[in-house]
Structure 1
Amino acid sequence: MDFEEAADALYAAPAADFIAARNELAKQLKADGDQLGSTRLKALRKPTVAAWLANLVAREQPDELDDLVALGDEFREATADLDGERLRELTPRRHKLIDQLVQAAGKLAADQGQKVSADVGQKLRETFDAGLVDPAAGEAVREGRLSSALRHVGFGVVDESGEPSNVTPLTDERRQRAVDRRKASKAAEEEESAAARTARERAERKEEEREAARRAEAKKQLEDKVAAAELAEAVVEDLENQLTEAQDTLEEIRVTIRRLTAELDDAKKTAREAQKQSREARKRYNRL
């Protein structure tokens, strides 16, 4: 099992078992020699109720989510073409499809014994709408590993706390940029000179190299943090062993104190008895 398989299994687990499943899967990755994957898995957050239901829909209704993402592509194309008539045609489909997904989530939740409150239903609706509006959010919803519901605002996608969401995979982002570049340059490509194409390709290669360098640096930082975490765990384990040894020694001392106290009490009792017998013997002697 690798990290990706473990992450899929984790977010497919019942919400109540998330923490236990995460610990067990992380332990398994570590036992398999994947310390980095184990640390990454431990960092995954437990999904909120709305996120858990969105993930459930992703696993049980993948075709419907594909339709959602495809409809989002149509919206973006119509918007880019300033096609108002087409946008008016697509809007009712948008509302209908999101309604169907929320209803499907409600049925799946009922099968799992989970009630869907009005607040959770609204967050589900916002999550599916964000998946339609934003292609990266759409991929994240389809992936089925959300830890928080999503909401599209003016500057992008945010999670339930209102913080910017980091759901965008770099590989998907680069792929989307490439698609956008091809669409934008299709009409003018025949007129582009060989020199201009060479310059563009060189710029793209440099961008890919910079991206690779950023990813390598991020990986190094993560590995450094993993190493620091392992060192800290080793220190904690050593201190715990020392504490256990000290506690064992303290218990032995307490046992010795109890034994010596008992012996001292017996000795005092014997001494008192001997003194008593000595006084009685002295009295008998004096009467002679």
Structure 2
Amino acid sequence: MPEDEPTGLDAAVDALYTRPLEEFVAARDAAVRQAADGGDRLGAGRIKRLPKPSVAAWVTNHVAREHPEEVAALADLGDELRAATADRDRGRIRALDHLRRERTEGLVRMVREAGEVGGRPVSAAVLDRLTETLTAAVMDPDAAAVVRAGRLSRALQHVGFGIVDEQGEEADLVALQPAGKAERPGTAPDGGKPDSAAELAAAERAVDETSAQVDRLEARRDDVRERLRTADAAIERGEGEVDRLDRELERLTAERDAARQALDDARETADEARADLTAVEDDLDEAVERSAEARRRRREARGR
């Protein structure tokens, strides 16, 4: 951004990149309206073109704001490396490169051990992007300025010909730097050549269109992720309930089998008792008849 950029615009941009990731689009739209209502149409246009950060970029921005001294020391190491390279001091280059790895891994390790940044879990892939971005900040002074400012929209990677973002596209490092740090010699205040206004306007329209498309797709992605989280939670609850019911069914099945066995045993006992009762009743009938016959004979004997 040029040196005459309103300081309020820098503050508005910084405020966007400090928000939770899911609030970025709504906050950006509100900042665009505020700038436009204040008469800053140029600032409103620049804010509008700011894409929503990727998760890796958002994590890197958070690290840069939470650990500014460590990130600044890492960036300063880049100046020392470039000086050592210019002097062809191989011993110094090796020592500085070892220090770079130590400092980079130190920052990444803090995030890895915490397991989250700003309440958002950090995956192994994001940690890899963080490592690459911090390395890019050492290798390139413009990358260092953007990383230290905490304004990344995409993670960075240092390749043979310069700095690219995590999608492999050339990174627009100058436009994201704070006011007073973005101008390059031989460029106009808007970052283009003085005689390429039409080309710049077309490029900016393309950026607006593609940024809007990215925002829409990221919003859809966030919605789908939320649906997936909800479905996964429902699956977990359902599996737990099925397990509980399976255990309950197993218990009830065992109780049913035991009750059925007891019923069968009772029926068998009843059948045996019924047969015994029939036999006893038959014996009783015979005994009653014999008793009656004995009484009859006794009466006859007494009458003689």
Q: Does structure 1 conserve the Cα–Cα contact (< 8 Å) formed by 2:183 and 2:189?
A: no
Distance 1:217 1:63, change over 3 A: farther
Q: Residue deviations 1:109-160, cap 9 Å, x none? A: 7252211111111010000000001111111111111000000000000001
Query: Does 2:160 correspond to 1:154?
Result: yes
Residue identity over aligned pairs, in percent, reads: 41
Q: Residue deviations 1:16-67, cap 9 Å, x none? A: 1001111111111111111221121111000011100111112111111110
Q: Residue 202 of structure 1 aligns with which residue?
A: none
Q: How many residues align?
A: 195
Query: Does 2:89 correspond to 1:72?
Result: no
Q: Does structure 2 conserve the Cα–Cα contact (< 8 Å) formed by 1:68 and 1:97?
A: yes
Kindly indicate whether structure 1 or structure 2 has the higher relative contact order, using CA contacts under 8 Å at least 6 residues apart: 2
Distance 1:61 1:219, change over 3 A: farther
Output the amino acid matched with 2:123: S
- Taking structure 2 as the reference length, the TM-score comes to 0.57
Structure 1: how far apart are the matches of 2:141 and 2:153?
Answer: 18
Q: Does structure 1 conserve the Cα–Cα contact (< 8 Å) formed by 2:111 and 2:117?
A: no
> Unaligned regions of 5+ residues in structure 1, if any?
176-206, 230-288
1:178-257 equivalence runs, <5 A: 208=186, 211=188
Q: Residue 9 of structure 1 aligns with which residue?
A: 15
Q: Does structure 1 conserve the Cα–Cα contact (< 8 Å) formed by 2:108 and 2:127?
A: yes
Q: Residue 98 of structure 2 aligns with which residue?
A: 92
Query: Does 2:42 correspond to 1:47?
Result: no
Structure 2: how far apart are the matches of 1:212 and 1:27?
Answer: 23
Q: Does structure 1 conserve the Cα–Cα contact (< 8 Å) formed by 2:59 and 2:117?
A: no
- Taking structure 1 as the reference length, the TM-score comes to 0.60
Distance 1:109 1:144, change over 3 A: farther
Q: Does structure 2 conserve the Cα–Cα contact (< 8 Å) formed by 1:130 and 1:152?
A: yes
Structure 2: how far apart are the matches of 1:126 and 1:132?
Answer: 10
Structure 1: how far apart are the matches of 2:197 and 2:115?
Answer: 38
> Unaligned regions of 5+ residues in structure 2, if any?
1-6, 209-304
Output the amino acid matched with 1:36: L
Larger Rg: 2
Q: Residue deviations 1:75-116, cap 9 Å, x none? A: 111111111111121122111100112133446772522111
Query: Does 2:151 correspond to 1:136?
Result: no
Q: Residue 30 of structure 2 aligns with which residue?
A: 24
Distance 1:61 1:19, change over 3 A: same
Query: Does 2:63 correspond to 1:57?
Result: yes
Output the amino acid matched with 2:167: S
Structure 2: how far apart are the matches of 1:212 and 1:22?
Answer: 23
1:92-111 equivalence runs, <5 A: 92-106=98-112, 110=116
Query: Does 2:173 correspond to 1:167?
Result: yes
RMSD across aligned C-alpha pairs, in angstroms? 3.0
